[in-house]
Amino acid sequence: MIDDSNFLQQEQTVNLIPHTSQLIPQIAVVGAGTMGNGIAHVFAQARFAVTLIDVNVQQLDKAIQTISKNLDRQVAKGSLTENDKATTLNNIIIETDLSLGVKDAVLVIEAATENTELKLRIFKQLDEAAPKSAILATNTSSISITKIAAATSRPAQVIGMHFMNPVPVMKLVEIINGYATTKEVTDTIVGFTRQLGKVSCVVNDYPGFIANRILMPMINEAIYSLYEGVAGVEAIDNIMKLGMAHPMGPLQLADFIGLDICLSIMNVLYQGFGNQKYAPCPLLVNIVAAGNLGVKSGEGFYAYSAGRKELVVSERFMKFL
């Protein structure tokens, strides 16, 4: 069980004492990629002492540069002062040794690569190295929280904390209760989320949780519509943007998320529910097999090149227009 009295004392003092104080809750973030750097950013900006951990030291350096650039953007907009920026960066230390990085943490948030075996291994290590009272959270998009929790000796203290990309901008944190997660742990995580200025929605642990269970079938259906020749890329995206007030069309969003990620989440839904309605579209399977993964590979439903701002449909899909 978590030591509530100790934690509450720390929580109450968070805004009252200088950031260097030992009383400030120590947060450890495992994985310094796209999501990990954003999660470290928002906790550090909310005056938590953050240890950002990655096996790859270059990734840690890159994460600090990204956080610094994103803070510059906030300063330019006037939502943060130069002083706030310096304090935020001061609140983050980097570490390559997982055991050292989590030894004083009250909360560990794992945001490493989406791979079940890797996450089970990390959670075993976290269970051994983090204080017995620490809560272990995962930012997984699709892996069962209950399965991850079962790799530890403290499943009651394991929870999903699903941040949205880009973390500093997106308001929502989807909080996922594993089979054994206690109410105290959920309440504590809701409290942390509030301190970040974000809004939490608590859900239960079933495939895709809520965000991806609803989003991914919509994206898959958009890909089916293209596959069946019902409409072209631009028409599909414009219908959802201009007709449904979505900020981005589903095909553009799929490119942004990564088509390999979309496929893997559809497979989690398909296998998890055993229902044909979640079968990934054969075009999605093909495009991933061809290595076209969206923005990160330079091509998906659209073609991307450095410096180009306007959206250009991939040549492969011109014939649908």
Ligand X SMILES: NC(=O)c1ccc[n+]([C@@H]2O[C@H](COP(=O)([O-])OP(=O)(O)OC[C@H]3O[C@@H](n4cnc5c(N)ncnc54)[C@H](O)[C@@H]3O)[C@@H](O)[C@H]2O)c1
The residue among 237 and 255 lying less far from ligand X, judged by its C-beta, is: 255
Collapse the DSSP code of 48 into the 3-class scheme (helix H, G, I; strand E, B; otherwise coil) and give the result. coil
142 carries an active-site annotation: no
Q: Residue 106 burial by CB count (10 A; 0-12/13-18/19+): exposed, middle or buried? A: buried
Stretch that binds ligand X, among 18-26, 55-63, 128-136, 183-191 (CB under 6 A): 55-63
Judged by phi (left if over 0) then psi (alpha if -120 to 50, else beta), residue 294 lies in left
- Distance, in Å, from the CA atom of 11 to the CA atom of 9, rounded to the nearest integer, reads 6
212 carries an active-site annotation: yes
The residue among 34 and 204 lying less far from ligand X, judged by its C-beta, is: 34
Of these, 27, 29, 32, 67, which contacts ligand X (CB under 6 A)? 32
- Distance, in Å, from the CA atom of 6 to the CA atom of 10, rounded to the nearest integer, reads 6
Positive/negative CA dihedral, 235, 260, 224, 253: negative
Contact in structure between 103 and 250 (CB atoms under 8 Å): no
70 binds ligand X (CB under 6 A): no
252 binds ligand X (CB under 6 A): no
Q: How far is the CB of 167 from ligand X (least distance, A)?
A: 8
Q: Provide the token pair at 83.
A: 């002083």
Stretch that binds ligand X, among 72-80, 106-114, 232-240, 279-287 (CB under 6 A): 106-114
141 carries an active-site annotation: yes
139 carries an active-site annotation: no
Q: Provide the token pair at 247.
A: 């900020």
Task: State the alpha helices, DSSP H only, in the chain.
Answer: 4-13, 34-45, 57-77, 82-90, 98-102, 116-129, 145-149, 183-195, 211-227, 233-238, 244, 250-257, 259-273, 282-289
Backbone torsions φ then ψ of 92, nearest 5 degrees:
-110, 130
64 binds ligand X (CB under 6 A): no
- Give residue for tokens 């610094």: 68
Of these, 14, 29, 30, 64, which contacts ligand X (CB under 6 A)? 30
101 binds ligand X (CB under 6 A): no
Say how many residues touch ligand X, by CB under 6 A.
Answer: 25
- Distance, in Å, from the CA atom of 284 to the CA atom of 297, rounded to the nearest integer, reads 15
Of these, 34, 87, 133, 204, which contacts ligand X (CB under 6 A)? 34
Of these, 81, 90, 153, 165, which contacts ligand X (CB under 6 A)? 165
Stretch that binds ligand X, among 135-143, 178-186, 236-244, 306-314 (CB under 6 A): 135-143
Positive/negative CA dihedral, 220, 225, 231, 235: negative
- Distance, in Å, from the CA atom of 97 to the CA atom of 25, rounded to the nearest integer, reads 20
Given 70, 141, 225, 292, the catalytic residue: 141
The residue among 108 and 281 lying less far from ligand X, judged by its C-beta, is: 108
Of these, 24, 35, 107, 158, which contacts ligand X (CB under 6 A)? 35
259 binds ligand X (CB under 6 A): no
Given 114, 174, 234, 299, the catalytic residue: 174
- CB atoms inside a 10 Å sphere around CB 250: 26
Stretch that binds ligand X, among 107-115, 169-177, 189-197, 271-279 (CB under 6 A): 107-115
Given 144, 162, 177, 220, the catalytic residue: 162
208 binds ligand X (CB under 6 A): no
Stretch that binds ligand X, among 110-118, 153-161, 237-245, 309-317 (CB under 6 A): 110-118
Active-site residues, by number, are: 141, 162, 174, 212
- Where does this chain bind ligand X (CB under 6 A)? 30-36, 53-56, 59, 98, 111-114, 118, 122, 139-141, 162, 165, 257
